[in-house]
Structure 1
Amino acid sequence: MNRHKVTAPGGRCVEVGAHVRFEARTWQASGLVDGRVHLAADDRATGCVLAAHLVAADGFEALGQAAPQIPAATVWAALQLPARERAMAWWDAQAQAEQW
């Protein structure tokens, strides 16, 4: 199982950061650990459900992926060059790791 994405037969899937509808409520997937999806709602409610149960549930719907959190240009420009270079190296390494 991918640490960032769960896919069930039929193509139903959920990724970390995705917004989903489950049990008549909107949640954001905050983590995937040992076959379980950790969920968080806007009202600070949390939940944990087996990934297979989540994607197979009646009424499950993947609503979309959360927008990536990219720092504002002014914050980015305020960083010293070595810090920006480390951040970009980490960003590239993360993107490559997700492709595996």
Structure 2
Amino acid sequence: MRRGVRPGHPVRTRANREFTMPVITVRIGKGRPIETKRALVAALTQAVAETLDVSPDWVTVLIEEYDRENWATGGELHADKFGPGFGKTGTVEV
């Protein structure tokens, strides 16, 4: 078995190069609208398909959402640092 290739996953070769299905994981805070997520996965899929020269059907995007109370930077929870609703469309930091 080739390194990095799992059974059942498509592989193609072109000019002695191997291509596998790209999987992108995006980690974001909870609360963004579905329309924003649709736009995100469409843009990522297009960019990856063009850059890696693979079919868009081969590109997988996983969105992992986190509550602000479960995410911290600089030693401080985002819920405390930024307040409720930070990062959602239409909110402004004050």
Query: TM-score, normalised to structure 2's length?
Result: 0.26
Q: Which has the larger radius of gyration?
A: 2
Higher relative contact order (CA 8 A, sep 6+): 2
Q: Normalized per residue, which structure has more strand?
A: 1
Q: What's the TM-score once normalised by structure 1's chain length? A: 0.25
